[in-house]
Amino acid sequence: MSFLQPVALFGFILVIAPILIHLLNRLRHRRQEWAAMRFLLRAREKSSKSTNLRHWLTLLLRMLALICLTLLIAQPVFHQGESWLSFTGQKPVTLVCVLDRSASMERIAKGTTSSLRKLSLNKILSLSKKQDNGRVVLFETTGSSPLIIDQKLALDGPSIESFLGPTDTSANLPGTLKNVFGWLERESISNARICIFSDLQSSSWKLSQNAVTLQELARDLEQRKGKWKLQLCPLETTSLSNRSISLRPQKRTPYFLIERSETGEELISLEIQSEATRSYLDLNLTSARTILNSSLIS
């Protein structure tokens, strides 16, 4: 069992307030002997048992009300398989999903019409439904606060789109993992499965800048002796052929340099307009770099 607002547990101190009030009320009254008191003492002896019982029940109900109010504010989270009476049950595995929200995650996933980000959200929702024990927590690369995922939560719905929508920023996965490890440490979570949903771009890791952070993360995982498991969930995108055409000046005759990301054979059509002249040319590219003499374009 854990609490979403553990600071509210200090409210248990208020449980002793009814006892203090009861003791103060007893000190406030002074005993005063008078003539007819012996008749009242006889009547009191008959009803003292029921009166004391009523007072004790009232005191216990007040203390119970304060305990319930404190727990309500602290928001306890109970996990299946965990004994909340003795706290000796086996700890469930907490599923932590790390979502890469960099701009590259808006590319279309292979074989689908959805972006990598939306595909990741659907996979996270599917994992949360299969999670029988423990919580499902989501961290994303643009923030540091976790999101507790409910199985009924529609991650691809309009309500969640404002929180996990597209961005034009880059990701820092080692920094996000550092936030995840810190949260697991603060929550005293012993068993965790950390899944990273990313297209694994090198710019998202920033290896040269995060060398020390990566060493610290590796050391933390080693100290946990397999209780914290890290899993990469790479996403496959549709193959994109990037092309560029640039005009390179020369003293005699300038030329066009055609560069592309693929090396296979490809047929492309060029339309070149210079002032009032428009030219069309079909090229069969067989390499990543092709030089085209401008004199061939008429």
Residue-wise pLDDT for 108-141, tens only, equals 888 888 889 888 888 888 888 787 666 889 999 9
Are 246 and 271 in contact by the 8 Å Cβ rule? The answer is no
Are residues 162 and 208 located together in one domain of the fold?
A: yes
CA distance 165 to 4: 25
Specify the DSSP class assigned to residue 276.
T
pLDDT at 80: 43
Q: How far is CA 71 from the centre of its chain?
A: 24
Are residues 54 and 131 located together in one domain of the fold?
A: no
Count of structural domains, the chain: 3
Are 132 and 80 in contact by the 8 Å Cβ rule? The answer is yes
- Residue showing tokens 């979502």: 99
Residue 89 has pLDDT above 50, yes or no: no
Indicate whether 87 belongs to any domain. no
Indicate whether 140 belongs to any domain. yes
Nearest CA to 59 among 15, 117, 104, 13? 15
pLDDT at 216: 93
In angstroms, how far is the first alpha carbon of the chain from the final one?
Answer: 77
Are residues 131 and 60 located together in one domain of the fold?
A: no
Give the structural domain span for 125.
Answer: 94-234
CA distance 272 to 296: 12
Indicate whether 82 belongs to any domain. no
CA distance 141 to 62: 46
Quick one: pLDDT band at residue 211, thresholds 50, 70, 90? Answer: very high
Q: What is the dihedral of CA 207, 184, 131, 147, to 10 degrees?
A: -80
Are 105 and 116 in contact by the 8 Å Cβ rule? The answer is yes
The two tokens of residue 74 are: 């602290």
Are residues 256 and 219 located together in one domain of the fold?
A: no
CA distance 5 to 2: 9
pLDDT at 88: 40
Show Cβ contacts of residue 278 under 8 Å, excluding neighbours closer than 6 positions: 271, 272
